Copies of this chain bind each other. A is one copy, B any other.
Amino acid sequence: MLTEKELELVRQEGLKVDNLLCFALYAASRTAVDAYRPLLGKIGITYPQYLVMLLLWEQEPRTIKEIGTALYLDSGTLSPLLKRLEKKGLINRQRDSQDERLVNISLTGEGHALKEQVRDLPETLFCQIGWPLEDFGSLVKRLHDLTGRIYAAQTGG
């Protein structure tokens, strides 16, 4: 897969933080979430909570499992997070009557209404950062590709 020369390069450089793809992702991710924090703080939710709301604004109800699959999060993370969203009055948690293992998550009126308050949030951030639009799309594509590759490599796919 790699030539001996390329492998040598990986061995030499692979133990320096700045060369690590994983660290670059790790730092970029936290910095990006930092940019959302003050804006989301105004409406009282966190970034992971915002991701859940985005999913529900697109389509509802959804089960916890479906939300977890879409966001790559497990129930140990989502269970308490969804309870906090319920406490804020933004969502309803209701056990499915057909299959009682499932918990259906739906929006309250207040949850629907919140969408208006974040309508121009992506635009605001986009302009703040000043990242070229073409770059933007291609980077997102490469990241999703990478995520898929790593995920597949893990599960032996």
CB contact between A14 and one of B11, B47, B122, B153 (< 8 Å): that residue: B122
* Nearest-Cβ distance from residue A22 to partner chain B, whole angstroms: 4
Q: Indicate if the CB atoms of A71 and B6 lie closer than 8 Å.
A: no
Q: This chain: how many copies in the complex?
A: 2
Instruction: Please give the number of chain A residues whose Cβ is less than 8 angstroms from any Cβ of chain B in the complex.
Output: 68
Q: Is A113 an interface residue (CB 8 A)?
A: no
Contact with B along A1-45 (1 / 0, CB 8 A): 110001101110011111111111111111111111000000000
Chain B residues lying within 8 Å of A25, measured Cβ to Cβ, are: 25, 28-29, 32, 143
Q: How far is the CA of A57 from the CA of B16 in the complex (A)?
A: 9
Listed in ascending order, the chain A residues whose CB lies under 8 Å from chain B are 1-2, 6-7, 9-11, 14-36, 47, 51, 54-55, 57-58, 70-72, 115, 118-123, 125-131, 133, 135-136, 139-140, 142-144, 146-147, 149-151, 153-154
